[in-house]
């Protein structure tokens, strides 16, 4: 995820408030270290209620922070996804909470082995600006399902939404169960230094490294949801028009300000022009009135807008061919950027080195599948990979020989929307995963327990040792 944080001063009183809430939640957890199924379900219900009852406030707040955020995108990405995460957790909660039988080796029978889920304690969540409700409340749902207390630090780049998030959580939850703390970079740094029992951060790789280092001082386990340059590979067997529509949608949803947005496209060189034409036509189909419609989301801040404009200017100066869908003259005053297709840009410019995080799309021609795989593998491991085509052997070859946090075949984004699939990165795109059962496990201690039988033969291995011990060891060796 692109780094667009900015320094905002906080006061020592905020640090004291952070400390107060943390210790309040620690004491609450000590008083109730293993909440019942009913208690957890009730908390998930409160989370659902907080979002559903305040849908219009959430839409208005996010629209205000972005200056223009598509209402439909907010309903899909913030309201529906957050509510579905909490509902899925509530539905499966009884199953997730059960101890899980684990096979016991023959020589340790008739003992029994179990994994017993146990809440960790107080969970910290640092959420980003691009999906300020979803990326705060979806992990919170998993943490509550696992029986924990939750503290959330939302982004200072969406202050109106952060205040609404704080207010709606305060209205539904006791501070000892869940709380939202608002503030700037200083508070974020203090938050990362709190000795949570687990910390989840969603944001840029550079800030993620700092969060990781701060948490390491307390040996706090960390889940990092980062980003990177997620490729879209168009195979020779692909329907170019269908692939282009999916890629254009993935790149323009939230104006490309999505950690799993397709960052660049690799297409057969002989079909490069056809791919560019299809992408442009798809964008015009999605946004026929792109210059004036509120369906097309603005860039979140002047700083991020200027960064994207600079990436395009550098590419243009380097001789790259550029196709824009939309008028910069009309869109610039709205802090919006046309879908900007950059054709075969040089590898050494910033556009090809940094995560773009906006509606700017490099399209590169490749000689075939082998070159596409090599290009992907030369870079850091991406958070997402998209493959388009009908050749199953080619598809499987790409999936086996590339490593990415997650994959959608013949579309973009949708693997992230499924609660039954874990969401997370690999390498520099992230550490750990959540969503669904994986989220419950991330925020639980899956405690291994061995129940010894009174008929166990293990005492025969106690000293003093004898020939009988040697015979028993010889028998044990056959089973290990």
Residues labelled as active-site residues: 225, 259
Nearest CA to 25 out of 176, 152, 167 is that of 176
DSSP state for residue 27 in the 8-state scheme: H
Q: In this structure, are residues 2 and 356 in contact, taking their beta carbons and an 8 Å threshold?
A: yes
Task: Report residue 392: phi and psi, to 5°.
Answer: -65, -35
DSSP H or E segment with residue 264: strand 264-268
Structure tokens at 276: 């560019």
Distance CA 230, CA 211 (A): 23
- φ, ψ at 161 (rounded to 5°): -65, -40
- The continuous run of DSSP H or E covering 69 comes out as none
Which tokens hold the place of 200? 């989840």
Question: Would you tell me how many other CB atoms lie within 10 Å of the CB of residue 316?
Answer: 14
Give the residue from 174, 179, 173 showing the smallest Cα distance to 194: 179
Report which of 116, 84, 71 is spatially closest to residue 98, judged by C-alpha positions: 116
Structure tokens at 6: 């900015």
Residue listed under structure tokens 């029994």 = 112
The strand pairing partners of 395, in sequence order, are none
Burial of 329 (0-12, 13-18, 19+ CB in 10 A): exposed
d(C-alpha 370, C-alpha 273), whole Å: 20
Query: 459 Cβ partners below 8 Å, 6+ apart?
Result: none
What crossing angle do the helices spanning 134-145 and 81-97 adopt, rounded to 10°?
10
Other C-beta atoms closer than 10 Å to the C-beta of 367 total: 10
């Amino acid at each position: 995820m692109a780094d667009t944080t900015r320094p905002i001063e906080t006061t020592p009183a905020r640090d004291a408030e952070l400390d107060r809430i943390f210790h309040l939640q620690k004491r609450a957890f000590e008083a109730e270290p293993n909440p019942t199924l009913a208690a957890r379900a009730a908390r998930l219900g409160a989370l659902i209620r907080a979002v559903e009852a305040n849908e219009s406030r959430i839409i208005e707040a996010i629209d205000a922070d972005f200056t223009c955020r598509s209402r439909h995108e907010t309903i899909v990405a913030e309201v529906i996804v957050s509510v579905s995460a909490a509902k899925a957790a509530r539905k499966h909660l009884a199953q997730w909470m059960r101890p899980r039988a684990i096979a016991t080796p023959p020589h340790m029978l008739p003992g029994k082995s179990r994994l017993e889920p146990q809440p960790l304690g107080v969970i910290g969540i640092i959420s980003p600006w691009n999906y300020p409700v979803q990326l705060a409340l979806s992990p919170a749902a998993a943490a509550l399902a696992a029986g924990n207390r939750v503290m959330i630090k939302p982004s200072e780049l969406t202050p109106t939404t952060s205040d609404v998030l704080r207010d709606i959580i305060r209205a539904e939850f006791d501070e000892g169960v869940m709380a939202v703390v608002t503030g700037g970079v200083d508070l974020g740094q203090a938050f990362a230094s709190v000795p949570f029992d687990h910390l989840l951060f969603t944001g840029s790789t550079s800030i993620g490294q700092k969060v990781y280092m701060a948490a390491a001082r307390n040996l706090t386990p960390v889940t990092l949801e980062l980003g990177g340059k997620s490729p879209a590979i168009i195979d020779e067997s692909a329907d170019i028009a269908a692939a282009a529509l999916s890629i254009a949608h993935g790149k323009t949803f939230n104006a490309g300000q999505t950690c799993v947005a397709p960052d660049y496209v690799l297409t057969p060189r002989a079909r490069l022009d056809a791919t560019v034409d299809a992408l442009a036509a798809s964008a015009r189909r999605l946004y026929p009135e792109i210059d004036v419609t509120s369906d097309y989301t603005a860039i979140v801040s002047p700083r991020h807008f200027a960064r994207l404009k600079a990436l395009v200017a550098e590419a243009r100066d380097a001789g790259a061919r550029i196709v824009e869908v939309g008028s910069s003259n009309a869109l610039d005053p709205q802090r919006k950027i046309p879908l900007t297709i950059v054709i075969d840009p040089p590898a050494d410019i910033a556009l090809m080195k940094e995560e773009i995080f906006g509606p700017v799309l490099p399209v590169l021609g490749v000689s075939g599948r082998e070159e596409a795989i090599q290009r992907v593998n030369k870079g850091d491991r991406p958070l997402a990979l998209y493959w388009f085509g009908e050749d199953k052997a080619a598809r499987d070859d790409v999936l086996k020989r590339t490593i990415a946090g997650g994959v959608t075949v013949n579309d973009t984004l949708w693997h992230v929307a499924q609660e039954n699939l874990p969401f997370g990165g690999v390498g520099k795109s992230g550490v750990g995963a959540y969503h669904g059962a994986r989220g419950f496990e991330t925020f639980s201690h899956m405690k291994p327990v061995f129940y010894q039988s009174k008929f166990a033969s293990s005492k025969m291995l106690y000293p003093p040792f004898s020939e009988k011990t040697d015979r028993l060891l010889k028998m044990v060796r056959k089973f290990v």
